[in-house]
């Protein structure tokens, strides 16, 4: 009733209830309460209603694939167990649910329907916290149908991911963080795997090459593989490692020091034997998304002086430095195989990370190999360059998606860079903060700090979750090799990623960072503030700021901002149908401002200790190898860009199986239109 409108009606009914002795006034609380007569009348009315409506029994189809007679006490039990509701309140809600279900006069109801009715009552009663705990995870029938129609067998994995996403948002993450993700203030990556998988893993092949795989004690695997005695056996073992790890990793894996650790196995083998074995291995790796092979063109001293960790030369003394020629040969064979496989159609997975050390440019053999790598980098494979020219960078390791790891804590490069993982990442929507602050830079800083705090809290929750459940979540990755757990979760990193640095500056200052000193100064200062906040707030080196093109976030955040603020206000890259925010720097070699862009990028991303990526577009150039080689050297030596790649666009014709370094609507060779496929890196 409305107090102003229904005061007379309320007084009339209240007077009638008092007169008939159905209610009375509590002298202490001054509130009305039921008398014994009133309580009897209600119970009798409910009994009559129940008897009348239950002439036809209400049946329930349960989640156990059985049909049972409806029992209101089961609702009470569920509310007590799942929502931790007080008994009296649970009985009240259960009775109301029973009343509504009986009035529906349906032949039978399902357990999900009962849950929906109960949740509706909880919402109407203002009991939102209880409803939150009681919510059922799952997909509507329509969504499941669409998944099956569009994805077929993949629908099983996709449906599972959606359920786990809902679980993480509803039960694992605090409400403010979940709401921020859904609203687009930030983006929690791999949310479907948030509770069961790390994002990336950096492998150390040496323990496997020395001890093999002993999985006899793991219920899921129950077998073992002996230490390899040949190159073929070693590659088969690594393929098994990649296969088992793929089940426990959300995004990707990096095979670090690949050619160095395998160099002892190719002695006395012919070039053709090495090539054929490698080709089979690399084609096998294409089945596992996000694999990177890290190549060393010059073995660093901290590796070359180490004793070889393999049973292959058991009883012999040897160091990796003794196999420098074999290591370079193996790197060359990897490039050979990629050239052969990617002759017409680009080989996007696995990708290659090439370590650039000072000796790479001075040695004629490594220079020749680098030229071949540059040829491969233009339209044939995913090649990334890791800049390790400075002495202080020699121990850095880069992951599949560009995350940078270095020995920050103890200085032990093996412990802190190998056999570790990137547990998770959260991307901050910087343009959203710019739109909300409306030009007030002090307010911008306040909102930024709040969003950073939420991102760090989310990552802390994931780290604690994995530490408490590592044995059940990651049976393979945490299995013991020679008494030591393989994956070192204690030194695993998390990323506080940022999206839209360029668009933020453009919105606030009207120009991009390399076009205006104020915009550049602001953007660089934001990067420093992010690093300083993480250091101060966490006092933990495992949280690292980054600016990397992690999947889904750039497009999703831009689309949400366009819906909220309008197309005219939002600054974005791409086109209206496919907008996105920049999460890396793209530099065109034909742009007159390319050197300003390189300098600006170097300054902006310097505080990004977790990693940053620059994509160099050679479109419009003749793509001469010497020219690209010179560009690589200048980007690494002069501008000190830590991690970069060459961006390209390729059109591939399925009809004649030929490819071209440009986007085409018609095949120049056979004239086909429909079989054309366009490949773009970013």
Higher pLDDT, 220 or 669: 669
Dist. CA 502–CA 434, nearest whole Å:
11
Residues 278, 235 contacting (CB under 8 angstroms): yes
Q: Is a pLDDT exceeding 70 seen at residue 682?
A: no
If pLDDT is split at 50, 70 and 90, which confidence band does 429 have? Answer: very high
Q: Is a pLDDT exceeding 60 seen at residue 220?
A: no
Looking at residue 216, its pLDDT comes to: 66
Q: Where are the alpha helices (DSSP H) in 168-318?
A: 175-183, 206-211, 231-246, 258-262, 271-285, 301-304
Dist. CA 222–CA 228, nearest whole Å:
19
Structure tokens at 429: 């929507």
Q: Which residues pair with 188 in a beta bridge?
A: 426
Are 579 and 682 in a shared domain? no
DSSP state at residue 592: T
Dist. CA 405–CA 384, nearest whole Å:
16
Exposure string over 354-381, b if 16+ CB within 10 A, otherwise e: bbbbeebbebeebeebbeebbbbbbbbb
What digits encode the pLDDT tens for the residues 325-355?
999 999 999 999 999 998 878 888 999 999 9
Dist. CA 349–CA 353, nearest whole Å:
12
Dist. CA 425–CA 489, nearest whole Å:
15
Residue 224, φ and ψ in degrees, nearest 5: -140, 155
Q: 301, 317, 456, 294: which is closest to 384 by C-alpha?
A: 294
Dist. CA 144–CA 334, nearest whole Å:
43
Dist. CA 583–CA 427, nearest whole Å:
9
Dist. CA 620–CA 147, nearest whole Å:
41
Q: Is residue 158 part of a domain?
A: no
Dist. CA 304–CA 324, nearest whole Å:
8
Looking at residue 623, its pLDDT comes to: 61
- Listed in order, strand segments (DSSP E) in 413-517 are 420-429, 480-481, 484-485, 493-499
Looking at residue 2, its pLDDT comes to: 72
% of the chain with per-residue pLDDT over 90: 45
Final residue before a domain boundary, out of 96, 118, 133:
133
Looking at residue 52, its pLDDT comes to: 67
Q: Is a pLDDT exceeding 70 seen at residue 54?
A: no
Q: Is residue 199 part of a domain?
A: no
- In what helix (H) or strand (E) does residue 294 lie, and over which residues does it extend? strand 291-296
Domain containing 73 equals: 56-133
Is the peptide bond preceding residue 572 cis, with omega within 30 degrees of 0?
Answer: no
Q: Is a pLDDT exceeding 70 seen at residue 100?
A: yes
Distance between the two ends of the chain, CA-based, in angstroms? 60
Name the range with the highest mean pLDDT among 82-91, 311-320, 506-515. Answer: 506-515
Dist. CA 332–CA 329, nearest whole Å:
5
Q: Is residue 485 part of a domain?
A: yes
Structure tokens at 222: 């129950």
Q: Is a pLDDT exceeding 90 seen at residue 201?
A: yes
Are 616 and 663 in a shared domain? no
Dist. CA 78–CA 75, nearest whole Å:
5
Are 9 and 101 in a shared domain? no
Are 267 and 284 in a shared domain? yes
Q: Is residue 191 part of a domain?
A: no
Looking at residue 226, its pLDDT comes to: 86
What residues have CB less than 8 Å from 269, skipping those under 6 apart? Answer: 231
Cβ neighbours around 160 below 10 Å, total = 13
Strand pairing category for 59-61 and 67-69? antiparallel
Residue for token pair 């007569």 = 37
Dist. CA 443–CA 431, nearest whole Å:
13
Structure tokens at 499: 């999206």
Are 639 and 555 in a shared domain? yes
Are 642 and 654 in a shared domain? no
Looking at residue 5, its pLDDT comes to: 77
Looking at residue 584, its pLDDT comes to: 85
Strand pairing category for 480-481 and 224-225? unpaired
Dist. CA 116–CA 136, nearest whole Å:
9
Dist. CA 646–CA 383, nearest whole Å:
7
Residues 65, 111 contacting (CB under 8 angstroms): no
Name the range with the highest mean pLDDT among 128-137, 260-269, 641-650. Answer: 260-269
Looking at residue 240, its pLDDT comes to: 93
Dist. CA 200–CA 400, nearest whole Å:
7
Question: Helix crossing, 517-538 with 501-509: angle to 10°?
Answer: 130
Q: Is a pLDDT exceeding 70 seen at residue 143?
A: no
Q: Is a pLDDT exceeding 60 seen at residue 56?
A: no
Dist. CA 155–CA 168, nearest whole Å:
20
Q: Is a pLDDT exceeding 90 seen at residue 294?
A: yes
Q: Is residue 337 part of a domain?
A: yes
Q: Is a pLDDT exceeding 60 seen at residue 64?
A: no
User: Could you tell me what percentage of the chain is helix, strand and coil, using 3-state DSSP and rounding each to the nearest 5?
Assistant: 50, 15, 30
Q: Which of 131-135, 448-452, 522-526, 569-573 has the lowest mean pLDDT?
A: 131-135
Looking at residue 1, its pLDDT comes to: 66
Residue 134 region, left (φ>0) first, then alpha (ψ -120 to 50), else beta?
Answer: alpha
Q: Which residues pair with 110 in a beta bridge?
A: 61
Are 113 and 247 in a shared domain? no
Looking at residue 315, its pLDDT comes to: 52
**Mean pLDDT to the nearest integer, 253-266:** 95
If pLDDT is split at 50, 70 and 90, which confidence band does 156 have? Answer: low
If pLDDT is split at 50, 70 and 90, which confidence band does 439 have? Answer: confident
**Mean pLDDT to the nearest integer, 97-115:** 80
Q: Which of 58-62, 241-245, 495-499, 583-587 has the lowest mean pLDDT?
A: 58-62
Q: 500, 485, 385, 381: which is closest to 431 by C-alpha?
A: 500
Q: Is residue 575 part of a domain?
A: yes
What residues have CB less than 8 Å from 653, skipping those under 6 apart? Answer: 659, 667, 669, 670, 672, 675, 676, 677
Looking at residue 144, its pLDDT comes to: 58
Q: Which residues pair with 295 in a beta bridge?
A: 354
Looking at residue 521, its pLDDT comes to: 94
What residues have CB less than 8 Å from 44, skipping those under 6 apart? Answer: none
Residues 682, 549 contacting (CB under 8 angstroms): yes
Looking at residue 149, its pLDDT comes to: 63
Are 116 and 253 in a shared domain? no
SS3 35: coil
**Mean pLDDT to the nearest integer, 292-319:** 83
CATH number of domain containing 539: 3.20.70.20
Are 587 and 661 in a shared domain? no
Structure tokens at 301: 């001293």
**Mean pLDDT to the nearest integer, 175-183:** 90
If pLDDT is split at 50, 70 and 90, which confidence band does 180 have? Answer: very high
**Mean pLDDT to the nearest integer, 59-63:** 71
Are 668 and 546 in a shared domain? no
Structure tokens at 227: 């230490």
- What integer best gives the mean pLDDT of the chain? 86
**Residue count (the chain):** 682
If pLDDT is split at 50, 70 and 90, which confidence band does 166 have? Answer: confident
Dist. CA 257–CA 241, nearest whole Å:
15
DSSP state at residue 608: -
Exposure string over 424-441, b if 16+ CB within 10 A, otherwise e: bbbbbbbbbbbbebeeee
Are 544 and 640 in a shared domain? yes
Q: Which of 114-123, 453-462, 526-535 has the lowest mean pLDDT?
A: 114-123
SS3 352: strand
Are 658 and 675 in a shared domain? yes
Looking at residue 508, its pLDDT comes to: 94
Q: Is residue 412 part of a domain?
A: no
Residues 444, 512 contacting (CB under 8 angstroms): no
Domain total of the chain: 5
Q: 287, 253, 557, 256: which is closest to 431 by C-alpha?
A: 557
Q: SS3 string of 130-188?
A: HHHHHCCCCCCHHHHHHHHHHHCCHHHHHHHHHHHHHHHHHHHCCHHHHHHHHHCCEEE
Q: Is residue 128 part of a domain?
A: yes
């Amino acid at each position: 009733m409305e107090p102003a409108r229904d005061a007379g009606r309320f007084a009339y009914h209240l007077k009638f209830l008092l007169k008939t002795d159905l209610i009375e006034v509590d002298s202490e609380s001054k509130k009305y309460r039921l008398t014994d007569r009133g309580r009897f009348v209600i119970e009798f009315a409910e009994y009559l209603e129940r008897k009348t409506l239950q002439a036809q029994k209400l049946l329930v189809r349960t989640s156990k694939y059985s049909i049972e007679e409806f029992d209101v006490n089961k609702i009470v039990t569920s509310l007590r167990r799942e929502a931790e509701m007080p008994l009296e309140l649970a009985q009240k809600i259960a009775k109301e649910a029973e009343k509504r279900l009986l009035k529906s006069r349906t032949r039978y109801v399902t357990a999900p329907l009962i849950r929906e009715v109960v949740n509706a009552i909880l919402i109407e009663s203002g009991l939102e916290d209880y409803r939150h705990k009681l919510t059922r995870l799952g997909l509507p029938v329509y969504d499941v149908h669409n998944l099956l129609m569009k994805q077929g067998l993949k629908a099983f994995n996709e449906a599972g991911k959606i359920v786990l996403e809902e679980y993480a948002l509803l039960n694992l993450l605090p409400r403010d963080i979940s709401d921020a993700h859904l609203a687009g203030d930030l983006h929690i990556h791999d949310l479907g795997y948030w509770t069961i998988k790390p994002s990336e893993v950096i492998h150390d092949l040496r323990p496997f090459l020395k001890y093999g795989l002993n999985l006899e004690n793991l219920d899921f695997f129950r077998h073992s593989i002996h230490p390899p005695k040949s190159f073929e056996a070693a590659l088969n073992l690594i393929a098994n490692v990649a296969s088992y790890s793929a089940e426990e990793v959300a995004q990707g894996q990096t095979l670090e020091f690949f050619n160095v650790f395998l160099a002892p196995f190719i002695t006395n083998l012919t070039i053709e034997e090495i090539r054929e074995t490698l080709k089979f291995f690399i084609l096998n790796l294409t089945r596992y998304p996000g694999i990177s092979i890290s190549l060393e063109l010059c073995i660093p001293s901290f590796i070359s002086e180490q004793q070889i960790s393999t049973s292959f030369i058991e009883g012999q003394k040897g160091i990796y430095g003794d196999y420098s020629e074999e290591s370079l040969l193996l790197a060359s064979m990897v490039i050979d195989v990629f050239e052969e496989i990617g002759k017409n159609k680009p080989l996007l997975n696995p990708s290659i990370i090439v370590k650039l050390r000072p000796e790479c440019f001075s040695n004629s053999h490594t220079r020749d190999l680098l030229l071949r790598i540059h040829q491969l980098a233009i339209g044939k494979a995913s090649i990334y360059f890791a800049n390790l020219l400075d002495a202080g960078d020699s121990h850095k390791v880069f992951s599949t998606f560009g995350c940078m790891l270095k020995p920050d804590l103890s200085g032990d490069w093996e412990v802190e860079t190998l056999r570790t993982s990137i547990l998770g990442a959260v991307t901050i929507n910087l343009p959203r903060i710019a739109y909300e602050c409306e030009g007030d830079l002090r307010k911008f800083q306040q909102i930024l700090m709040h969003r950073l705090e939420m991102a760090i809290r989310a990552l802390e929750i994931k780290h604690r979750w994995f530490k408490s459940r590592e044995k059940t979540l990651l049976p393979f990755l945490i299995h013991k090799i020679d008494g030591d757990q393989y994956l070192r979760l204690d030194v695993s990193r998390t990323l506080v990623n940022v999206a839209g640095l360029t668009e933020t500056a453009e919105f606030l200052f009207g120009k991009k960072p390399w076009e205006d000193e104020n915009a550049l100064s602001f953007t660089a200062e934001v990067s420093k503030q992010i690093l300083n906040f993480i250091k101060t707030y966490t006092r933990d080196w495992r949280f690292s700021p980054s600016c990397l093109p992690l999947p889904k976030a750039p497009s999703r955040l831009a689309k949400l901002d366009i819906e909220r603020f309008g197309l005219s206000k939002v600054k974005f890259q791409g086109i209206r149908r496919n907008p996105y925010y920049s999460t890396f720097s793209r530099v065109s070699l034909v742009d007159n401002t390319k050197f300003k862009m390189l300098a600006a990028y170097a300054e902006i991303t310097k505080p990004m200790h977790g990693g940053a990526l620059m994509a160099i577009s050679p479109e419009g150039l003749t793509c001469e190898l010497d020219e690209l080689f010179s560009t690589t050297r200048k980007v690494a030596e002069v501008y000190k860009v830590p991690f970069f790649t060459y961006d390209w666009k390729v059109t591939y014709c399925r009809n004649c199986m030929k490819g071209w370094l440009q986007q085409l609507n018609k095949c120049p060779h056979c004239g086909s239109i429909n079989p054309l496929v366009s490949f773009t890196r970013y």
